């Protein structure tokens, strides 16, 4: 069934050169997709309507007329005659960052993500695209959602303030998906991955999320012989994390088999406190100094843990990676590649 689904599909993966996107394109290849297109920011501004229209115009061209800059490294031409309904869009691109970046750039995070999602989905409908997979964010959930987060609770309150502009901008794709399905019969789905981690993550201290930020901080402290590490908040919030290869598998599986606009969580079902996470990273890295909590800094949302039953029920997917093993692989990758990371 897998190879059959992808054998006559061309796939546009926005953000396909990024952290999650690199694993999604690899999983697509494994599942039998050959014509994988990855729009690059130098050629397509995904916050601009004219640029998005150009993207779809280019993506629907016959193989011999496809712009070279749109073909991914994995692109292999197929013999089928492409029709717009054979085009699949997986929208991963986002302007995203951790708590600090969200506090400094709330307007940019809101505008960029809202414009990208709304116009990409609208033009996909206008161009007759067969399937659109929208990737939301766990930041879309209300600040005080009962744990584990159930998809039906998405609208019971306002998101945590530090990342609300980003979370709400992404959540509008859910509203759009449901409205376009109802009015136009347009086939789109909306997935809510929890915080991702793994090899190739963003380790830039100005924009990284909690796991890569802590790994970098711990490795640098251990190598420099620092006496202490300072972490944000008080360590009490809990988070759930999903290994990036599991996330890629969930996205590709849902794209193949799920055809409904009900939102679906993608998570591991494993919740850990920031305190325990930080202590785990320090132990695994081998840092022997003191851990200090800067309680002047924000904690973010108090708890995050997802109900992951809908993904299992609707398209038979569940995460496979053990958290400690995933962390080990992530730390090893960072140690091997840190000299290339700014």
Show the tokens assigned to 93: 């691109």
Alpha-carbon distance values, 205 to 26, 103, 136, 157, 291 (Å): 27, 15, 23, 31, 18
d(C-alpha 26, C-alpha 199), whole Å:
14
In DSSP notation, 110-152 reads HHHHHHHHHHHHHHHHHTT-SEEEEE--GGGSBTTPPSSBPGG
3-state secondary structure of 174: helix
Please check whether residue 261 is in contact with residue 189, taking contact to mean a CB–CB distance below 8 angstroms.
yes
Beta-bridge partners for 135: 191
3-state secondary structure of 281: helix
- The count of residues in the chain is 342
Catalytic residues: 166
């Amino acid at each position: 069934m897998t190879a059959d689904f992808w054998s006559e599909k061309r796939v546009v993966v926005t953000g396909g050169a990024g952290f999650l996107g690199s694993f999604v394109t690899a999983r697509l290849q494994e599942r039998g997709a050959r014509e994988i297109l990855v729009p690059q920011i130098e050629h397509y501004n995904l916050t601009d309507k004219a640029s998005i229209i150009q993207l779809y115009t280019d993506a629907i061209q016959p193989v011999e007329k496809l712009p070279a800059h749109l073909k991914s490294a994995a692109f292999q031409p197929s013999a089928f005659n492409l029709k717009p309904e054979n085009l699949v869009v997986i929208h991963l691109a986002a302007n995203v960052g951790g708590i600090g970046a969200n506090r400094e750039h709330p307007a940019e995070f809101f505008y960029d993500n809202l414009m990208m999602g709304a116009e990409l989905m609208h033009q996909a409908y206008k161009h007759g695209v067969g399937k659109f997979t929208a990737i939301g964010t766990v930041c879309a959930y209300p600040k005080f959602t009962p744990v584990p987060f159930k998809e039906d609770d998405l609208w019971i309150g306002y998101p945590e303030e530090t990342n609300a502009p980003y979370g709400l901008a992404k959540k509008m794709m859910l509203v759009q998906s449901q409205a376009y399905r109802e009015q136009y019969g347009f086939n789109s789905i909306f997935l809510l991955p929890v915080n991702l981690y793994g090899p190739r993550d963003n380790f830039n201290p100005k924009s990284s999320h909690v796991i890569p930020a802590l790994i970098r901080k711990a490795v640098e402290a251990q190598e420099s012989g620092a006496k202490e590490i300072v972490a944000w908040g008080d360590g009490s919030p809990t988070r759930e994390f999903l290994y990036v290869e599991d996330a890629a598998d969930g996205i590709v599986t849902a794209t193949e088999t799920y055809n409904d606009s009900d939102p679906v969580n993608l998570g591991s079902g494993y919740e850990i406190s920031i305190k325990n996470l930080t202590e785990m990273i320090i132990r695994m890295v081998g840092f022997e100094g003191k851990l200090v909590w800067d309680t002047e800094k924000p904690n973010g949302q108090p708890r995050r843990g997802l109900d992951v039953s809908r993904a299992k029920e609707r398209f038979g997917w569940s995460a496979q990676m053990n958290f400690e093993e995933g962390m080990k692989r992530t730390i090893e990758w960072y140690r091997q590649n840190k000299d290339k990371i700014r």
